[in-house]
Amino acid sequence: DAMVIQNPRYQVTQFGKPVTLSCSQTLNHNVMYWYQQKSSQAPKLLFHYYDKDFNNEADTPDNFQSRRPNTSFCFLDIRSPGLGDAAMYLCATSTRTSGGETQYFGPGTRLLVL
């Protein structure tokens, strides 16, 4: 059964047209992450939520916003997508224990900007 679900798997948008990517989880994890991954590069952390606490990376453009209305759902909003925002967007969840942390990744949403 899917534990971290991302919808849609492929998203096409127009230059400058706002787009929202969705992530949901059935694991009840308190931490959720959004990463951007471009071809042949490592995933780059955009931001993460620890419960309701939002943590933005210093170099994440203002064009990227996130919402977490409840434990299960997290959204990535791109207000005005540019051609350079075309990438795979990965959602991950984790729970932190004294033993460490394991992330569970969703399959990703591939965003194409026309």
Partner 1 sequence: GESVGLHLPTLSVQEGDNSIINCAYSNSASDYFIWYKQESGKGPQFIIDIRSNMDKRQGQRVTVLLNKTVKHLSLQIAATQPGDSAVYFCADLCSSASKIIFGSGTRLSIRP
Q: Does 68 bind partner 1 (CB under 8 A)?
A: no
Contact 29, 104 (CB under 8 A): yes
Q: Residue 61 Cβ, how far from partner 1 at the closest point, in Å? A: 16
Q: Does 61 bind partner 1 (CB under 8 A)?
A: no
Q: Does 26 bind partner 1 (CB under 8 A)?
A: no
Instruction: Measure the CA–CA gap between 47 and 23, rounded to whole angstroms.
Output: 14
Pairing mode, strands 53-56 and 64-67 = unpaired
Q: Does 5 bind partner 1 (CB under 8 A)?
A: no
Q: Does 30 bind partner 1 (CB under 8 A)?
A: no
Q: Residue 38 Cβ, how far from partner 1 at the closest point, in Å? A: 8
Contact 93, 72 (CB under 8 A): no
